[in-house]
């Protein structure tokens, strides 16, 4: 069954600067993956705006996508999973991160992934934890942060726990300032020397 209405074109890109002097903007629907109905969600964009990532309904379930030059590419899922969600992309859009799971809202925990050059890779989990989710990636795609019960940092194939409270959601371009939540409030951690 196809759903219409508010989600008929739920992903769009705004091209052009919108300011008080010029209120012109061009809205363009990105579409959705084949076979899944009219549903998609954009979660991040490359530095120059040419690449958009997110997730879309598809014939196989919700899958992460990468959109460039009018083409939406299905990023696939990790082995044993049926869902993937893209959360962030590198500055040039070549690296995409997020999580993949066997049930987006079910009891199965997800696993953080990194996608590059058509290959989706499992980032792993912290010891004693059952799931992970990548939330941000550095400009060059070499550093990833996320949550695996505890905040983590992934670099050079190594997943390590961050010694900060709460969960992480984003980081600065130089990767030294990380923001997220600590208990029930927003927080920022500056860790120039420890990361």
Domain ranges of the chain: 12-164
Pseudo-torsion of CA 93, 131, 57, 14, nearest 10°?
A: -40
Rounded to whole angstroms, how far apart are CA atoms 195 and 189? 11
The pTM of the full predicted model, rounded to 2 decimals, is: 0.82
CATH number assigned to the domain covering 12-164 = 2.120.10.30
Rounded to whole angstroms, how far apart are CA atoms 173 and 155? 15
pLDDT tens, residue by residue, 116-169: 999 999 999 998 888 999 999 999 999 999 999 889 999 999 999 988 877 888
pLDDT tens, residue by residue, 45-78: 999 999 999 999 998 889 999 999 999 999 999 9
Instruction: For residue 29, report the phi and psi dihedrals to the nearest 5 degrees.
Output: -70, 140
Rounded to whole angstroms, how far apart are CA atoms 76 and 144? 19
């Amino acid at each position: 069954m196809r759903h219409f209405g508010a989600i008929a074109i739920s992903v769009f890109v705004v091209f052009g600067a919108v300011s008080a002097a010029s209120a012109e903007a061009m809205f363009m629907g990105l579409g959705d993956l084949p076979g899944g109905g009219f549903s998609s969600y954009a979660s991040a964009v490359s530095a120059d705006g040419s690449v958009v990532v997110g997730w879309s309904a598809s014939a196989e379930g919700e899958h992460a996508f990468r959109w460039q030059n009018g083409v939406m590419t299905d990023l696939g899922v990790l082995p044993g999973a049926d869902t993937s969600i893209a959360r962030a992309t590198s500055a040039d859009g070549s690296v995409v991160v997020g999580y993949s799971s066997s049930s987006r809202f079910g009891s199965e925990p997800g696993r953080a992934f990194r996608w590059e050059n058509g290959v989706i890779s499992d980032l792993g989990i912290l010891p004693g934890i059952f799931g992970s989710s990548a939330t941000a990636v550095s400009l060059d795609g070499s550093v990833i942060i996320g949550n695996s019960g505890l905040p983590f940092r992934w670099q050079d194939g190594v997943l390590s726990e961050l010694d900060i409270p709460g969960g992480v959601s984003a980081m600065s371009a130089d990767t030294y300032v990380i923001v997220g939540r600590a208990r029930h409030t927003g927080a920022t951690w500056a860790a120039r020397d420890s990361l």
